[in-house]
């Protein structure tokens, strides 16, 4: 099994970054990931009142997958997410869906013991680890790891957790995979902009699907559902993309008419907000979940 330490991080998914690891398709990697502020938040006094010098959300990588070529896709199966023993939640003044009420900065370091997060003496909850950033390098200009897009990136999608098989487009030779921004817990919507940010180790198997061209990421879940994704600064457009992807996936996989697929997704597909911390100015991310076992 390959291993990458968190010394090897990037702040963009970019074909210009030289790979720090080369693997064969089907191999497993263990990646140390940094929290979204690269370890700079260590106490409740460390407020998010200044930009990180290199930007937020570093991804560990990039990983070159031998033989991966534009038009292929990767299928990254998340085998394990080991969390550090503490992370943080935070509020940024004037930021998030409730920006109008967020009149000051606040940071809270949170310890995790035996899978339980200790928010304070009164509040404890089980963690639900997920991966915020996973993606490949786009064909054109690099994209900051804070941003989502057709290459993946900062999707903040709660379905990207242990057991998930994440399909990612390959746009450049070797794919140049990066993974980071693990959350110990993040509600759908990530409404304040800052999830329960934490360092972690992610173990994943990377398969190559030759010739399987996909326009953007989608996910097979451990319980057999399919999940399509969308992103756009306009929430309506972000929702439309994920829905269109699911309807198109059902048409292609099952040979359904548009009308049948549209009716089916209306009746059985669940549209959810992944991240909506700054609609309008920052891409909203969305997903649609559908259980395909209803079609034979």
Binding site for a second copy (CB under 8 A): 89-91, 96-98, 101-102, 104, 106, 108, 117, 119-120, 122-125, 158, 185-196, 235-236, 239-240, 243-244, 247, 254, 258-260, 262-273, 276, 279-280, 288, 290-291, 294-296
Residues near 130 by beta carbon (within 8 Å), at least 6 away in sequence: 81, 157, 158, 159, 160, 161, 182, 183, 186
Which residue, 10 or 239, is less far from a second copy as judged by CB?
239
Which residue, 31 or 239, is less far from a second copy as judged by CB?
239
The helix (run of H) or strand (run of E) holding residue 193 is none
The helix (run of H) or strand (run of E) holding residue 268 is helix 258-268
Which residue, 45 or 141, is less far from a second copy as judged by CB?
45
Q: Which of 11, 58, 14 is nearest to 172 (CA)?
A: 14
Which residue, 64 or 262, is less far from a second copy as judged by CB?
262
Widest CA span in the chain: 57
Do residues 76 and 218 touch, judged by C-beta distance below 8 A? no
- The CB-of-221 to a second copy minimum distance in angstroms stands at 16
Degrees, nearest 5: CA angle 230-96-136: 35
- The CB-of-114 to a second copy minimum distance in angstroms stands at 15
Residue in the block written with tokens 């990588």: 61
Which residue, 72 or 245, is less far from a second copy as judged by CB?
245
Query: 76 is written with which tokens?
Result: 């990254």
Strand 148-149 and strand 152-154: the pairing is: antiparallel
- The CB-of-153 to a second copy minimum distance in angstroms stands at 20
- The CB-of-79 to a second copy minimum distance in angstroms stands at 24
- The CB-of-208 to a second copy minimum distance in angstroms stands at 31
- The CB-of-236 to a second copy minimum distance in angstroms stands at 4
Which residue, 46 or 207, is less far from a second copy as judged by CB?
46
Which residue, 153 or 189, is less far from a second copy as judged by CB?
189
- Adjacent-strand bridge partners of 88: 109, 197
Residue 240 DSSP SS3: helix
Q: Which of 82, 78, 83 is nearest to 204 (CA)?
A: 78
Question: How far is the C-alpha of 74 from the C-alpha of 172, rounded, in Å?
Answer: 12
- The CB-of-77 to a second copy minimum distance in angstroms stands at 24
CA separation, residue 124 to residues 5, 44, 116, 131, 266 (Å):
30, 18, 7, 21, 37
């Amino acid at each position: 099994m390959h291993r990458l330490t968190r010394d090897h991080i990037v702040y963009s998914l970019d074909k210009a970054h030289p790979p720090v690891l080369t693997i064969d398709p089907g191999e497993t990697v263990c990646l140390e990931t940094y929290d979204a502020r690269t370890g700079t938040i260590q106490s409740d006094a460390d407020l998010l009142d200044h930009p990180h010098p290199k930007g937020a959300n570093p991804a560990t990588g990039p990983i070159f997958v031998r033989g991966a070529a534009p038009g292929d896709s990767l299928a990254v199966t998340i085998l394990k997410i080991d969390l550090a023993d503490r992370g943080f939640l935070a509020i940024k003044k004037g930021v998030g869906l409730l920006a109008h009420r967020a009149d000051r900065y606040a940071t809270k370091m949170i310890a995790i013991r035996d899978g339980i997060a200790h928010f304070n003496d009164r509040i404890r909850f089980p963690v639900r680890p997920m991966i915020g950033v996973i993606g490949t390098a786009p064909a054109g200009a690099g994209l900051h790891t804070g941003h989502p897009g057709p290459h993946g990136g900062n999707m903040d999608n709660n379905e990207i957790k242990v057991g998930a098989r994440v399909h990612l487009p390959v746009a450049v030779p070797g794919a140049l995979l990066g993974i980071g921004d693990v959350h110990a817990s993040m509600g759908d919507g990530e409404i304040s902009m800052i999830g329960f940010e934490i360092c972690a180790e992610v173990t994943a198997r990377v398969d190559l699907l030759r010739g399987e061209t996909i326009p953007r990421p989608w996910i097979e879940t451990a319980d057999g559902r399919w999940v399509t994704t969308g992103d756009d600064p306009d929430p309506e457009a972000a929702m439309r993309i994920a829905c269109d992807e699911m309807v198109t996936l059902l048409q292609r996989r099952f040979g359904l008419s548009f009308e049948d697929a549209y009716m089916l997704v209306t009746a059985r597909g669940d549209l959810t907000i992944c991240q909506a911390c700054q609609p309008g100015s920052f891409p909203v991310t969305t997903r649609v979940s559908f259980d395909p076992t209803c079609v034979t």
